[in-house]
Structure 1
């Protein structure tokens, strides 16, 4: 059976959201990040990214990790692209051109948006966006995000979704990256088509089901 290793409060949200959309059976193994535990190597520690049993599967010690038969993947976007193509349907590429575009936009999110968007997410999680220093940091990061967001805003001015005029795995991959910046509302006010696209993605039952499980998760 397909296995997804990783708690919901991680990049595992990407394949876990996709699985909700696909409606496929799988086993969820809630591996937690080692840094969240006082002693991740203690005998009674929860299964975590430094646990020997997990490292035997993924020596990088990262989540999510997918096990599907003899295939092991530990890059979240690669997991999603694989699962979409394996299970087919409207979420998957219809042809080689769509396959290339879905890969293109997934990589665009990973390379042009994710690192800086995560800085905003971290500042929000730590409560620093309410401080003057935090606001200044968010403004500086938003300036770096302005160009890729402008590219997306132009695209979504003429399209509801990123590829093929329908919701696909590429929207999941990209939306889960863009979401990290959502605490800085001025960035989305400046790029309203990105804001509206993200809202469409988050209105889907698959996202709501995944997010409800994330909120219910005990750390």
Structure 2
């Protein structure tokens, strides 16, 4: 049994979705937030004191995208393909962490996450400009194939779509990137995604 520490309205959403896609039994150990994005209590199993964290038997992991790679590895193909495609999954997961997430979070904090009085429009604009440059790269890639690693959905798609989920839900302008928008729609309306989203949005 996977034990996912966090709440669905956090990065733990990514891991819940991964567990749903993998068809693995899991439980959510709820740890939420106090005002100011501070955790309501310490996460003893994560030295960074952040959520999510995962317990899988004796294995303890932190970092949501690493947790998802572990879950996908347990499930195997098609969620985690073999051979060169496994390397492509790692490539896109690291691209997600380094190229996409910092900019989507810069936009998100200043577009909808922070209280309105604390938002800085210039920061939101800078985040959007930087993210748009990355979405242009993604648009070209998705013009060649329906998913990041080929013809089928993998954990690479889940990792990137879950990072973009908040912007997709909160008014980001994906109009200039129709391939990205269609891909996001397809990823985030999969049955497993909808089951995870019901926990987050309900």
TM-score by length of 2: 0.88
Q: Secondary structure at the match of 2:136?
A: helix
Contact 2:7 2:29 in 1 (8 A): yes
Q: Paired residue for 1:28?
A: 28
The offset of 1:150, in angstroms, is: 1.0
Q: Paired residue for 2:172?
A: 185
Select the structure of larger CA radius of gyration: 1
Task: Provide the C-alpha distance between the structure 1 equivalents of 2:37 and 2:177, rounded to a whole number of angstroms.
Answer: 38
Task: Describe how 1:1-219 pairs up with structure 2 within 5 A.
Answer: 1-35=1-35, 48-50=40-42, 54-55=43-44, 57-93=45-81, 95-122=82-109, 123-126=111-114, 128=116, 134=121, 136-182=122-168, 183-186=170-173, 188-216=174-202
Contact 1:5 1:65 in 2 (8 A): yes
Task: Provide the C-alpha distance between the structure 2 equivalents of 1:65 and 1:170, rounded to a whole number of angstroms.
Answer: 19
Q: Paired residue for 1:45?
A: none
Contact 1:116 1:141 in 2 (8 A): yes
Q: Secondary structure at the match of 2:55?
A: strand
Size of the aligned set, in residue pairs, is: 199
The offset of 1:117, in angstroms, is: 0.4
Contact 1:49 1:62 in 2 (8 A): no
Contact 2:79 2:155 in 1 (8 A): yes
Task: Provide the C-alpha distance between the structure 1 equivalents of 2:58 and 2:131, rounded to a whole number of angstroms.
Answer: 39
Contact 1:3 1:27 in 2 (8 A): yes
Higher strand share: 2
The Cα offsets for residues 101-154 of structure 1, whole Å up to 9 and x where unpaired, read as 1011011011011111012222223465xx9x63x5433222112221111000
The offset of 1:163, in angstroms, is: 0.8
RMSD: 2.3
Structure 1 residues 126 and 60: alpha-carbon distance in aligned structure 2, compared to 1, 3 A threshold? closer
Q: Secondary structure at the match of 1:189?
A: coil
Contact 1:120 1:184 in 2 (8 A): no
Structure 1 residues 199 and 116: alpha-carbon distance in aligned structure 2, compared to 1, 3 A threshold? same
